[in-house]
């Protein structure tokens, strides 16, 4: 199941959080959800060159708070904050409520799955070989701390007539493990031969759940004790001198006596 299902939806409320955080009645839910989708599509087109990884939308008390995660926050803000003010005004017009926009910087874009997928699609549109783009992205991610990465490309690769799928993996990518921090990204490259889809899975380690404690290694003394063994009972070979262990003491002498016949 972990191979087929969306990695983010599979881990919601376990090790991942929602990208839209608000509550709505049954009559308002569909409209607000559609509004969120339109806002994300608008930001994706508007900030195409700003390397936006994800957008979190919150709606507290007839307001909206939008957090944009980008590896190039200067491009989003603009000169003297002009671009961010224009963006805020456009979002308020679309959503109909006061909007607060926050910009969060992505410190390591090389291990962000969505940014990796966007980077590969941009290279494919510039006619760079897909294998070279995929392997370069994998090397950069592993070099900067990712424990595993998997990249899959599908479509008319290199312009061939029959579409196919190729994928590469390096390290571990445990898709069935719920506590695993799997970052997933998807992007499409519009080439002259058609659309090529790129999927990226990045494994960053394991999450500790809310009720989980850090893993503490068992002391060596406790590890030696076997359950159910009486305290006073001695293990075989313990407490004897090195030359008096079984096979090296009386038993060996008895074998010598039997051989000589004395």
Per DSSP, what are the bridge partners of residue 171? 148
Classify 37 as helix, strand or coil.
helix
pLDDT of residue 255: 45
pLDDT of residue 259: 46
Better pLDDT: 130 or 236: 130
Query: Do the Cβ atoms of 173 and 148 come closer than 8 Å?
Result: yes
Lowest mean pLDDT, pick from 57-66, 136-145, 195-204, 215-224: 215-224
What's the pLDDT band for 137 if we cut at 50, 70, 90? very high
Radius of gyration of the chain (CA): 30
Give pTM, 2 decimals.
0.76
pLDDT at 80: 81
pLDDT at residue 258 tops 60: no
Residue 98's pLDDT band (cuts 50, 70, 90): very high
What is the C-alpha to C-alpha distance for residues 257 and 260, in angstroms, rounded to an integer?
5
SS3 state at 181: strand
Neighbours of 115 (CB within 10 A): 25
Give the chain's domains with CATH numbers: 7-107 (3.30.300.20), 110-206 (3.30.1140.32)
Place of tokens 């979190």: 56
**149 backbone dihedrals φ, ψ, rounded to 5°:** -150, 140
Q: What is the pLDDT of residue 49?
A: 87
**What H or E segment, with its residue span, contains residue 155?**
strand 148-155
d(CA 29, CA 62): 14
* Mean pLDDT of the 144-158 span: 95
Instruction: Give pLDDT tens digits for 162-179.
Output: 999 999 999 999 999 999
Helix (H) or strand (E) holding 139: helix 130-143
* Beta bridge mates, 68: 55, 103
């Amino acid at each position: 199941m972990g191979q087929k299902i969306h990695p983010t939806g599979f881990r919601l409320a376990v090790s991942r959080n929602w990208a839209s955080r608000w509550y709505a009645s049954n009559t308002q839910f569909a409209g607000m959800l559609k509004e969120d989708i339109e806002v994300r599509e608008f930001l994706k087109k508007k900030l195409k060159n700003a390397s936006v990884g994800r957008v979190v939308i919150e709606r507290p008390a007839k307001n909206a708070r939008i957090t944009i995660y980008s590896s190039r926050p200067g491009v989003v803000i603009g000169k003297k904050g002009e671009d961010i003010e224009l963006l805020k005004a456009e979002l308020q017009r679309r959503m109909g409520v006061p909007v607060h926009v926050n910009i969060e910087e992505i410190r390591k874009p090389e291990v962000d799955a969505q940014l990796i997928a966007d980077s590969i699609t941009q290279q494919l549109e510039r006619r760079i070989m897909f294998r070279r783009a995929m392997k370069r992205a994998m090397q950069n991610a592993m070099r900067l701390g990712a424990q595993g990465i998997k990249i899959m490309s599908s479509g008319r690769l290199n312009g061939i007539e029959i579409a196919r799928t190729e994928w590469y993996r390096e390290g571990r990518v445990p898709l069935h493990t719920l506590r695993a921090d799997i970052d997933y990204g998807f992007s499409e490259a519009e080439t002259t031969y058609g659309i090529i889809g790129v999927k990226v899975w990045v494994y960053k380690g394991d999450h500790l759940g809310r009720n989980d404690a850090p893993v503490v290694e068992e002391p060596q003394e406790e590890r030696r004790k076997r359950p159910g063994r009486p305290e006073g009972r001695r293990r075989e070979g313990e407490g004897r001198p090195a030359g008096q262990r079984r096979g090296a003491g009386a038993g060996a002498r008895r074998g010598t006596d039997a051989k000589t016949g004395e």
